[in-house]
Amino acid sequence: MKSHVQVAVIGGGVVGCSVLYHLTKFGWRDVVLIERAELTAGSTWHAAGGFHTLNADTNMAALQGYTIRLYKELEEISGQSCGLHHVGGLTIATTPERMDFLKAARAMHRHMGLDTEIVGVEEVGRLCPVINTDGIVGALYDPLDGHLDPSGTTHAYAKAARMQGAEIYQHNKVEELVPQPDGSWDVVTEQGTIRAEHVVNAGGLWAREVGAMAGVYLPLQPMEHQYLVSDDIPDVYRRDDELPHMMDPAGGTYFRQEGRGLVIGIYEQDCDPWSVDGTPWDFGLELLPDNLDRIADSLEAAYRRYPCLETAGIKKVINGPFTFAPDGNPLVGPVPGLRNYWSACAVMAGFSQGGGVGLTLAEWMVEGEPSRDVFAMDVARFGDWCTHAYTVAKVRENYQRRFAISYPNEELPAGRPLHTTPAYGIWKGQGAVFGAAYGMEHVNYFARTSDERIETPSFRRSNAFDAVGEECRAVRTAVGINEIHNFGKYEVTGPGAEAWLDRIMAGRLPKQGRISLTPMLAESGRLIGDFTIMRLAPERFQLTASYAAQAYHMRWFARHLPARGVTLRNVSRERLGFQIAGPRARALLDRVTGADVSNEALPFLSVREMQVGGIDAIVARISYTGDLGYEIYVSADREVPLYEALAAAGKDLGLRPFGMRAMMSLRLEKGFGAWMREYKPDYTPMETGLDRFVDFGKSDFVGRAAALAERDDPPPRRLCTFVVDAADADAVAWEPIWKDGAVVGFVTSGGYAHHVEKSVALGFVPTAMIAEGATFEIELLGEMRKATLFRQPLFDPRAERLRG
Ligand SMILES: Cc1cc2nc3c(=O)[nH]c(=O)nc-3n(C[C@H](O)[C@H](O)[C@H](O)COP(=O)(O)OP(=O)(O)OC[C@H]3O[C@@H](n4cnc5c(N)ncnc54)[C@H](O)[C@@H]3O)c2cc1C
pLDDT above 70 covers a percentage of the chain that reads 100
pLDDT digits (tens, 9 = 90+) for 343-352: 999 999 999 9
Cα 141 to Cα 76, 284, 349: the distances in Å are 28, 38, 19
Query: What pLDDT does residue 25 have?
Result: 97
Distance 665 CA to ligand 1 centre (A): 43
Query: What pLDDT does residue 111 have?
Result: 77
Q: Which of ligand 1's atoms lies nearest the C-alpha of 225? A: 1
**What backbone torsions phi and psi does residue 372 show, to the nearest 5 degrees?**
-150, 170
Query: What pLDDT does residue 46 have?
Result: 92
> Which whole number is the average pLDDT over 718-732?
97
Mutate to test the pocket of ligand 1, among 189, 200, 206, 254 (most ligand atoms within 8 A of CB): 206
Contact 573, 635 (CB under 8 A): no
558 exposure class (CB count in 10 Å sphere: 0-12, 13-18, 19+): middle
Query: Virtual CA dihedral for 4, 5, 6, 10, nearest 10 degrees?
Result: -120
Q: Which of ligand 1's atoms lies nearest the C-alpha of 351? A: 11
Query: What pLDDT does residue 799 have?
Result: 95
Is the dihedral angle over the CA atoms 750, 753, 759, 763 positive or is it negative?
negative
User: Residue 719 — very low, low, confident or very high, per pLDDT cuts 50/70/90?
Assistant: very high
Q: Which of ligand 1's atoms lies nearest the C-alpha of 318? A: 1
Residue 430 scores a pLDDT above 90 = yes
Q: Whose CA is nearest to atom 48 of ligand 1?
A: 42
User: Residue 284 — very low, low, confident or very high, per pLDDT cuts 50/70/90?
Assistant: confident
Q: Which of ligand 1's atoms lies nearest the C-alpha of 44? A: 21
Distance 14 CA to ligand 1 centre (A): 7
Mutate to test the pocket of ligand 1, among 20, 22, 38, 44 (most ligand atoms within 8 A of CB): 44
Distance 204 CA to ligand 1 centre (A): 5
Mean pLDDT value across the chain: 96
pLDDT digits (tens, 9 = 90+) for 103-141: 888 888 887 778 899 999 999 999 999 999 999 999 999
Distance 47 CA to ligand 1 centre (A): 8
Contact 36, 173 (CB under 8 A): yes
Residue 777 to residue 786: CA distance in whole angstroms: 5
Distance 184 CA to ligand 1 centre (A): 26
pLDDT digits (tens, 9 = 90+) for 435-475: 999 999 999 999 999 999 999 999 999 999 999 999 999 99
Residue 454 to residue 411: CA distance in whole angstroms: 10
Query: What pLDDT does residue 561 have?
Result: 97
> Which whole number is the average pLDDT over 67-94?
96
> Which whole number is the average pLDDT over 635-641?
98
Tell me which of 402 and 20 has the higher pLDDT. 20
Query: What pLDDT does residue 558 have?
Result: 96
Query: What pLDDT does residue 113 have?
Result: 76
Distance 127 CA to ligand 1 centre (A): 32
Distance 15 CA to ligand 1 centre (A): 8
pTM as predicted: 0.97
- Which of 663, 630, 673, 656 is closest to 753 using CA atoms? 663
Pairing of β 314-324 and β 331-334 = unpaired
Q: Whose CA is nearest to atom 3 of ligand 1?
A: 47
Distance 298 CA to ligand 1 centre (A): 25
Query: What pLDDT does residue 541 have?
Result: 98
Which residues fall within 8 angstroms of residue 305, CB to CB, at 6 or more apart?
A: 131, 132, 248, 251, 253
User: Residue 56 — very low, low, confident or very high, per pLDDT cuts 50/70/90?
Assistant: confident
Residue 560 to residue 130: CA distance in whole angstroms: 59
Residue 781 scores a pLDDT above 90 = no
Residue 136 to residue 632: CA distance in whole angstroms: 54
User: Residue 337 — very low, low, confident or very high, per pLDDT cuts 50/70/90?
Assistant: very high
Q: Whose CA is nearest to atom 18 of ligand 1?
A: 350
pLDDT above 90 covers a percentage of the chain that reads 94
Distance 13 CA to ligand 1 centre (A): 5
Cα 211 to Cα 36, 206, 411: the distances in Å are 16, 9, 30
Cβ(267) – ligand 1 distance below 6 Å: no
Contact 791, 722 (CB under 8 A): no
Please name the helix (run of DSSP H) or strand (run of DSSP E) that holds residue 756, with its range, or none: none
Cβ(657) – ligand 1 distance below 6 Å: no
Which residues fall within 8 angstroms of residue 454, CB to CB, at 6 or more apart?
A: 433
589 exposure class (CB count in 10 Å sphere: 0-12, 13-18, 19+): buried
Q: How many helices (H) and strands (E) does the chain have?
A: 20, 37
pLDDT digits (tens, 9 = 90+) for 377-403: 999 999 999 999 999 999 999 999 998
Residue 387 to residue 396: CA distance in whole angstroms: 14
Mutate to test the pocket of ligand 1, among 322, 331, 347, 395 (most ligand atoms within 8 A of CB): 322
Contact 172, 35 (CB under 8 A): yes
Distance 205 CA to ligand 1 centre (A): 6
**Chain Cα centroid distance, residue 51:** 21
Query: What pLDDT does residue 442 have?
Result: 98
Residue 633 scores a pLDDT above 90 = yes
3-state secondary structure of 619: strand
> Which whole number is the average pLDDT over 331-341?
97
Cβ(225) – ligand 1 distance below 6 Å: yes
Contact 612, 619 (CB under 8 A): yes
Distance 437 CA to ligand 1 centre (A): 29
Q: Which of ligand 1's atoms lies nearest the C-alpha of 43? A: 29
